[in-house]
Amino acid sequence: MSEEKLVLENVSKSFGEGENAVVVLNDLSLRVKAGELVAIVGPSGSGKSTFLSIAGALLSPSSGRVIIDGDEINKMSPGQMNSIRLKKIGFIFQSANLIPYLTVRDQLLLVTELEGNRNKEAKKRADDLLEKLGLAHRKHHYPESLSGGERQRVAIARAWMNNPEIIFADEPTASLDSERGRAVVQMLADEVKLRGKSAVMVTHDQRMLDLCDRVVWMEDGKLVESNSVQV
Amino acid sequence: MFLALRELKHAKLRYLLIGVIMVLIVWLVLFVSGLAKGLSSDNASAVQEMKGNYVVLQKEADQRLTRSVISANKTEDIQQLSGKKNAEPLGVMMTAVINEGKQKKIDASFFAISTSGFLAPNVIEGKMITDDAKHEAVADSSLKEEGVKLGDTIKDTASGKSFTIVGFTKNQSFSHAPVIHINLTEWKTIESTGAFNAVVLNMNDKKAHALQKKGSNIDVISKDEALKGIPGYQEEQGSLLMMIAFLFIIGAFVLAVFFYVMTLQKMNQFGVLKAIGAKTSYLARTILSQVVVLTLCSLAISIGLTYGVAAILPDSLPFYLDLSLIAGCSALFVAVSVLSSLLSLYRVAKVDAVEAIGRAV
């Protein structure tokens, strides 16, 4: 257990080689403590998605260090990164991205299935999570019959299923109206506090920022910390 | 299997459609295979069932049993070279017979053999003829369907000779006609020259090759090659075999295309799965188990359908399906379907988990 769940030090990422190289992230640093919900805000093209991919162990940086819960992942092989994602990271994607042919409960059980320990205890954990997020009555429904807000709540439940140290959310409110969007982010913030874990949310939805502990602005591949939550 | 079975259950219609196509293809494969085997046995079971592994034919006969002529002297030479016990003369004559007292001609083939040698067929009803029996013969039991009974007399329309049927044999047909076995004494009365068509050998490969070198103007060929020399045998089997081969290829392509399109449709989903920690091997196993489950179910249904149809087919239709043929076809089909999923597996391996980020789908 580390106090700082996510550390990025001087991380750069560029695509292409030589003269054609495009620098997407430029010497970027960030520290996220336990119990913190950090929002990353910026215009499109500022490198938010790349940032999320690198912090979320989906992509390796060109230079710099990425440490998740004490494990330095910037030198890991794709297979090791895979297992870090499975054990320590929870993802909430834009528009939920649930698997269409799994019921709500199976969406959660899938995570434990991938870990290779889908058992009684996992089933109980899934039921508890669904209960907590107000989805118990939807347990045996398929995503197609859920509302947008419900789907995003299932995605949150799925992200917590492996009891991760940190959650990455990619525009979780993009497909929701303001009221439902706030409810979803509130839920995320509450869970983070309660469990003493961390969350990083990439968003351009500025209505949600007051729910976050910290807001970081991103522009041209750099992060600018802002202590006030004013917009 | 977690994902595989749930997806099969959820997208029932899709997988049902592809399943039905598979069932039809496998059904046709099994049916044509059964027909090929049935026809082959109808055409040549007398040669297939024959003990012995090599056949000596006349050099000029182009490996065709019916064209070959081996004189009595030559036969003795060959028997001397290979040992009397290991070489038996065989006379073949395709003709038509009449069941005495009736008008209808029946196609039949006379096989002249030494009744005490290894070419003697097994008799399932009545008794076997002896080497010095006169006017006696044993016939394939399919002649019963033509109304021939034990003790009946049949008359060869070519030579005018009559024979009393004293026994029945099983699975003895040649060129789609039942075989009537007679002894060598009687052979001389219908074939005046006393020449035979072939000498059948029962010996190992080495000795057979040696005989080929020693003998003059003879062709020593294996039994399989001799089968091909039966009129129409190779053409019949060849065209059916080609159909079966094409069905396998069609089946492979149908499966490959179906799963490839399904995989392309699910690229984004695979990206999400990889992002939350699914390994490529896990996803590959999912696809493979879907392919195998689908193939096994289709096979089971098809085998059932094939047996069902076989049960209502008329007896005169040559259809023969045994377990080893079914097992062989099934194993080949599973192998083909697994092979056909490789294209999809390749695509899955190429999916990048990063694709899940920044996508609103």
C-alpha to C-alpha distance for B185 and B131, rounded to whole angstroms: 7
Coil, helix or strand at residue B127: coil
Q: Answer yes or no: is B295 within a domain.
A: yes
Q: What separation in angstroms does the CA of A208 have from each of A34, A167, A204, B207?
A: 20, 17, 9, 93
What pLDDT is attached to residue B106? 92
C-alpha to C-alpha distance for A183 and A99, rounded to whole angstroms: 23
Interface size A-B, in CB pairs within 8 Å, comes to 87
- Are B100 and B160 in contact by the 8 Å Cβ rule? The answer is no
Mind listing the pLDDT tens digit for each residue in B175-220?
Answer: 889 999 999 999 998 888 889 999 999 988 888 888 888 888 889 9
Q: How far is A19 from chain B (nearest CA, A)?
A: 25
Q: How confident is the model at residue A227 (pLDDT cuts 50, 70, 90)?
A: low
CB contact (8 A) between residue B358 and residue A52: yes
ipTM of this predicted structure: 0.86
The 8-class DSSP code of residue A93 comes to B
Residue B301 sits in the same domain as residue B184 = no
DSSP string, B77-97: HHHHHH-GGGEEEEEEEEEEE
Q: Which residue has the higher pLDDT, A171 or B139?
A: B139
What pLDDT is attached to residue B316? 78
Mind listing the pLDDT tens digit for each residue in B92-111?
Answer: 999 999 998 888 899 999 99
**Per-residue buried b or exposed e for B37-76, using 16+ beta carbons within 10 Å of the residue's own CB:** bbbbbbbbbbbebbebebbbbbeebebebbebebeeebbe
Q: What's CA B141's distance to the chain center, in Å?
A: 21
What pLDDT is attached to residue B156? 92
Residue B39 sits in the same domain as residue B53 = no
DSSP string, B260-327: HHHHHHTHHHHHHHHHTT--HHHHHHHHHHHHHHHHHHHHHHHHHHHHHHHHHS-TTS-----HHHHH
- Are B228 and B310 in contact by the 8 Å Cβ rule? The answer is no
Residue B34 sits in the same domain as residue B115 = no
Q: Answer yes or no: is B323 within a domain.
A: yes
What pLDDT is attached to residue B129? 93
CB contact (8 A) between residue A48 and residue B358: yes
Q: Answer yes or no: is B148 within a domain.
A: yes
* Interval B61-89 mean pLDDT: 89
C-alpha to C-alpha distance for A172 and B131, rounded to whole angstroms: 96
B70 touches chain A (CB under 8 A): no
Q: Answer yes or no: is B320 within a domain.
A: yes
B267 touches chain A (CB under 8 A): no
Residue B245 sits in the same domain as residue B157 = no
Residue B178 sits in the same domain as residue B269 = no
* Residue A229 clears pLDDT 70, i.e. is over it: no
Mind listing the pLDDT tens digit for each residue in A10-69?
Answer: 999 988 887 888 888 988 999 999 999 999 998 887 888 889 999 999 999 999 999 999
Domain end point (choices B197, B225, B253): B225
Residue B317 is part of which domain span?
Answer: 2-43+234-356
User: Which of B273, B279, B357 to mutate to test binding with chain A, by most A CBs within 10 Å of its CB?
Assistant: B357
Q: Are strands A166-170 and A22-33 parallel, antiparallel or unpaired?
A: unpaired
Average pLDDT for chain B: 90
Domain ranges of chain A: 4-14+24-226
Q: What separation in angstroms does the CA of A44 have from each of A218, A221, B311?
A: 10, 11, 70
CB contact (8 A) between residue B274 and residue A171: no
Residue B38 sits in the same domain as residue B51 = no
* Residue B350 clears pLDDT 60, i.e. is over it: yes
Q: How confident is the model at residue A2 (pLDDT cuts 50, 70, 90)?
A: low
| Orientation of helix B280-312 relative to helix B2-10, angle to 10° | 50
Q: Are strands B162-169 and B136-140 parallel, antiparallel or unpaired?
A: parallel
Token couple for B213: 């070198």
Domain end point (choices B225, B247, B279): B225
CB contact (8 A) between residue A114 and residue B11: no
Sequence-separated (6 or more) residues with CB below 8 Å from residue A100 = A142, A143, A144, B10, B269
Report whether CATH 3.40.50.300 matches the domain A4-14+24-226: yes
Q: Answer yes or no: is B191 within a domain.
A: yes
Q: Answer yes or no: is B188 within a domain.
A: yes
* Residue B311 clears pLDDT 50, i.e. is over it: yes
* Interval B77-86 mean pLDDT: 86
For B306, phi then psi, to 5°, come to -65, -45
Q: How far is A94 from chain B (nearest CA, A)?
A: 6
Q: How far is B9 from chain A (nearest CA, A)?
A: 8
What pLDDT is attached to residue A231? 43
Q: Answer yes or no: is B361 within a domain.
A: no
Mind listing the pLDDT tens digit for each residue in A143-174?
Answer: 999 988 889 889 989 999 989 999 999 888 88
Write down how long chain A is.
231
Residue A214 β-bridge partners: A38
For B354, phi then psi, to 5°, come to -60, -25
Residue B155 sits in the same domain as residue B21 = no
Q: How confident is the model at residue B304 (pLDDT cuts 50, 70, 90)?
A: very high
User: Which of B5, B9, B276 to mutate to test binding with chain A, by most A CBs within 10 Å of its CB?
Assistant: B276
Residue B155 sits in the same domain as residue B253 = no
CB contact (8 A) between residue B360 and residue A48: no
Residue B211 sits in the same domain as residue B320 = no
Task: Kindly list the residues from chain B whose CB atom is less than 8 angstroms away from the CB atom of residue A100.
Answer: 10, 269
* Interval A189-205 mean pLDDT: 90
* Interval B214-242 mean pLDDT: 89
CB contact (8 A) between residue B6 and residue A171: no
- Are B26 and B251 in contact by the 8 Å Cβ rule? The answer is yes
| Run of H or E residues at A140 | none
Chain B 7-46, CB below 8 Å of chain A: which residues?
7, 9-11
Q: How far is B262 from chain A (nearest CA, A)?
A: 13
What pLDDT is attached to residue B229? 86
Residue B329 sits in the same domain as residue B185 = no
B358 touches chain A (CB under 8 A): yes
* Residue B358 clears pLDDT 80, i.e. is over it: no
Number of domains in chain B: 2
Q: How confident is the model at residue A198 (pLDDT cuts 50, 70, 90)?
A: very high
Mind listing the pLDDT tens digit for each residue in A88-133?
Answer: 999 998 877 899 999 999 999 999 999 888 889 999 999 998 998 8
pTM of the model: 0.79
CB contact (8 A) between residue B3 and residue A110: yes
Coil, helix or strand at residue A214: strand
Task: Kindly list the residues from chain A whose CB atom is less than 8 angstroms away from the CB atom of residue B276.
Answer: 85-86, 91, 110-111, 114, 158
Residue B38 sits in the same domain as residue B52 = no
Q: How confident is the model at residue A1 (pLDDT cuts 50, 70, 90)?
A: very low
Domain end point (choices B194, B225, B256): B225
